[in-house]
Amino acid sequence: MIQPRLIVFDCDGTLVDSLFAIQHAMEQAFSALALDAPPAEAVRGIVGLSVPQAVEALAPDHPPETLAAIDRAFRDASLAYRQNNPQSNGQLYPGTRAALERLNTPNTLMAVATGKARRGLEHVLDVFDMRAFFMATQTADDAPSKPHPGMLQNCERMTGVAAARTAMVGDTTFDIAMARAHGCTAIGVSWGYHPVKDLLDAGAHVIIDDFAELDGALEILG
Ligand SMILES: [Mg+2]
């Protein structure tokens, strides 16, 4: 009998292009504390980390209480953005939905592992009607920030699929390093927020340029 395989998708930069909304909320957060907003490119680099780690990376010289205040302001700004712009909170990348429908077979289980808060991920799953595809979802509220392998360990526990039969699909070095720490296959996507060279340097087994290439890349799992 063939053992089932598990595909774990990152969210921002992999399934959904949400960079504008995240950059906007981060600008609002820094502005609320009368701090200079970090450059857009710097924000692009930290999408994928959980919020505390992202804020610390963007404002390393500030004391913990300031970082905590930015964190709160970012969460508030994200929620306000979602409420004020219910239809413009990002869009699915081309081929996302078709890939999920194609791969949704009895032998393939799917999950999401994201640095988003639980509240943010639930919103995305509802907006794009994707909830039914995923047997497990992991967020910043469920495990340590990527690249710690905790989210993938939880996915293994929830699905019963071991690392040897698991592939992580993501756009950042945080996803690739998390996959490597878990001991599963690391598939990088070139359409997201980190350069392909960085994904390869972090240990990606393969890079795909389009969701149409995912099925072929998954043959690594046998
Ligand atoms: Mg990402």
Residue 200 confidence (pLDDT) above 90: yes
Q: What's residue 15's pLDDT? A: 98
* Single-letter amino acid, residue 202: A
Query: In angstroms, what is the span from residue 14 Cα to ligand 1's centroid?
Result: 6
Residue 89 confidence (pLDDT) above 80: no
Query: In angstroms, what is the span from residue 2 Cα to ligand 1's centroid?
Result: 30
Query: In angstroms, what is the span from residue 115 Cα to ligand 1's centroid?
Result: 8
**103: confidence class by pLDDT, cuts 50, 70, 90:** very high
12, 71, 171, 175: which one is catalytic? 12
CATH fold label, 5-17+90-221: Rossmann fold (3.40.50)
Any idea where the domains of the chain sit in the sequence?
5-17+90-221, 19-84
Q: What percent of the chain has pLDDT over 90?
A: 94
Q: Active site includes 12?
A: yes
> Residue 20, class by beta-carbon neighbours within 10 Å (0-12 exposed, 13-18 middle, 19+ buried)?
middle
Question: pTM higher than 0.85, yes or no?
Answer: yes
Q: Which residues, including other chains, have CB under 8 Å from residue 135's CB and lie 6 or more apart? A: 109, 110, 111, 158, 159
Q: Active site includes 126?
A: no
145 touches 50 (CB < 8 A): yes
